[in-house]
Chains A and B, each alone.
Chain A
Amino acid sequence: MDWELLLGVGRFLLATTLLLVLTIPTAFIIIQMELKVIASMNLRLGPNRVGPGGMFQSTIHGFKVLAKEDTIPDQADPSTFTLAPWMVYMAAAMSMLVIPFAPGAIAADFNIGIVYFFAVLGLSVVGLLVAGWASYNKYSLLGGLRSAAQMVSYEIPLTLSIVGAVVLAGTLSFSEIIEWQRQHGWLLIWQPIGLGIFYISSLAEVNRTPFDMVEADSELVAGPFTEYSGMRFGFFFFAEYVALFIMSGILVSLFFGGWLAPWPFPAQLGGFAGTLYGIFWFFLKTYIFVFIAVWLRATLPRVRVDQLMGMAWKVLLPLALVNLFVTAIAVVVFDL
């Protein structure tokens, strides 16, 4: 029994380490993708000097950030100032624990995975708020409050849009939801409105264009990150891209069948081969959605802050409630 416990702890440690390590190439790949894809859509070539075809541009950016001077403002509170990037980054990294990469490749297959996911991802708001507050700079503080307002507002339709799917599948575990989708077809068909609300809210939740009010590159100073430099800023930056990856992964798991192939999953494929097959499909679908997010960024202008809030409270929240209501009635009436 003790051995079993030790084995579990060891497996958990290994999985978390792997996930933490995974965040680094993930962020690099998405940043590189953003550089190249947006450049292409702007009819530019984009970075093409570092490595073959410029493929190490984002990596070299990462190392550059690592080598930069790390400054802390005089009046800032050093302990919270240094804690904030860690909180934001860990919120993203910890929520990766429940992402179902493939059958058997989930770091922790909780039966309340969805609740855990939204609870932990929501912690990044605290990190941003702390970052803004600890910087001792009114622009940082306002930026932090702005981001908190945005993320708290969008967390509500984001979470509510899932509830329909959860009611339908009757489970809060990611692997069970995917199993349900294998039997009944992807939730995309069952919950199209939920999908739309989830996608819009998730863009706002991870501060992607057209909802990147937190750090509106071309208009504002960097919001709560204003006073940060070097790798502390790098952590915020990383966390943003990791969060994009996670959100795309969750979207895929909940609405697009997760690790399932578009055609029936070959049952004879079990064990390690099945895991690899699942990982392939999961990453393919996830990166398609990452690409769509980048594509959106190349296309859409930023919304105004009042439009942003109005959208969350006046459109998405009522729509999510109606969706939930209709789904609940349908479940009862048709006994799904």
Chain B
Amino acid sequence: MAFPGLGIAKGMATTFRNFFAPKVTRQYPEQRPEIPDRWRGRLDLIYDPFGEHKCEVCFQCAQVCPVEAIDMSGFDSQGNRIRYGMPEIYDERKDPNAYRRAGLAARPMRNAARWDEEIDTPFVDETVDSFGGRPEALVAIFRAVENRYGYLPERALRRISDRMTIHWAQVFGAAGLGGFRLLPTTGHTITVCDCASCRFTGGDRLLRDIEDELGIRAGESTADGRFTLETRSDIGSGSLSPALRIDTLVYGPLDTDGALHLISERRAAATAHGTAS
């Protein structure tokens, strides 16, 4: 039965009970919550307002994970699927055995080839040792390895990590930042710098002329697979602008003639090599 004032009385009773109830305030700097030793917070992948994962596969979380429990896969800036973890994580778990257990025809694992790539382990060890295993030499070591393979094989990175006893995430993080290739390429990759400095000094014209010369647009490869053309802004050679990178070597400042000369040099070398073999 509704009785005027009953609701108010109920509310007053509630607040009066609360007046004597234990308080929930925690005096933070003085009183700290008891956190279990193994507590590592909640692991979660958050989304940006457009519904995309905010995770950029930067490996910072893997870097601070004390038990190296975190590994991840994602897409690089060119849309290639990259996975820098053990094969049996996340959706990669659909390994041939899982298919067999499900009564399906076994399929090869995705990216399995990369896991099986062969590297010259003594060469990598030697390179690491020649720099004394100092972490600040990582970039130089990467450069040496990249010169040998044309890209940085994942196994080589693992080997570097083991040899130098540096956390894998740190090694991979450094490799991902420095403009190194993490995937094998065919032929030469010509990278035209499109940073502001290079564009002001004629980088646009340089790119257009090279596109005309090779008959492809930026981001494409020539039909014979000898050249891949791309633009990037992380070449980091403002003093050389307009700059150009062929595979791992940076040239600049270049005019159109110089660039075309470099390309024809590579073309001639490839042809010579082809005839020789």
- A residues near B (Cβ < 8 Å) are 37, 40-45, 48, 295-296, 298-300
Contacts and interface: CB of A to CB of B under 8 A. Distances in A.
A76 to B, nearest CB: 40
A45 B23 CA distance: 6
B24 A44 contact: yes
Q: How large is the interface on B (under 10, 10 to 19, 20 to 34, 35 or more residues)?
A: 10 to 19
B3 interface: no
Interface string B1-40: 0000000100110111011011111010000000000000
B15 A41 contact: yes
Q: Considering the complex of A and B, which 4 residue pairs feature the smallest CB-CB distances, nearest first?
A: A45-B25, A41-B15, A299-B11, A299-B15
A42 B24 CA distance: 9
A216 B21 CA distance: 28
A37 B25 CA distance: 14
Contacts of A296: 12
A235 B19 CA distance: 30
Residue among B12, B16, B24 with the most chain A CB within 10 A?
A: B12
Interface of B: 8, 11-12, 14-16, 18-19, 21-25, 27
A298 B15 CA distance: 7
A44 B19 contact: no
Contacts of B23: 40, 43-45
B8 A43 contact: no
A40 B18 CA distance: 7
A43 B21 contact: yes
Contact of A300 (B11, B18, B25): B11
Given A42-B18, A295-B15, A295-B16, A300 B8 contact: yes
Contact of A41 (B8, B19, B24, B25): B19
Nearest to A48: B27
- Identify which of A37, A40, A41 gathers the most chain B CB atoms within 10 Å of its CB: A41
B18 A41 contact: yes
A299 B27 CA distance: 25
A295 B12 contact: yes
Contact of B12 (A40, A42, A299): A299
17 contacts: A40-B18, A41-B15, A41-B16, A41-B18, A42-B18, A43-B21, A43-B24, A44-B23, A45-B23, A45-B27, A295-B15, A295-B16, A299-B8, A299-B11, A299-B12, A300-B8, A300-B11
Nearest to B18: A41
Contacts of A299: 8, 11-12, 14-15
A209 to B, nearest CB: 12
A40 B11 CA distance: 15
Contacts of A295: 12, 15-16, 19
A300 B13 CA distance: 12
Contacts of A45: 23, 25, 27
A262 B15 CA distance: 27
Contacts of B25: 43-45
A36 to B, nearest CB: 10
B141 to A, nearest CB: 55
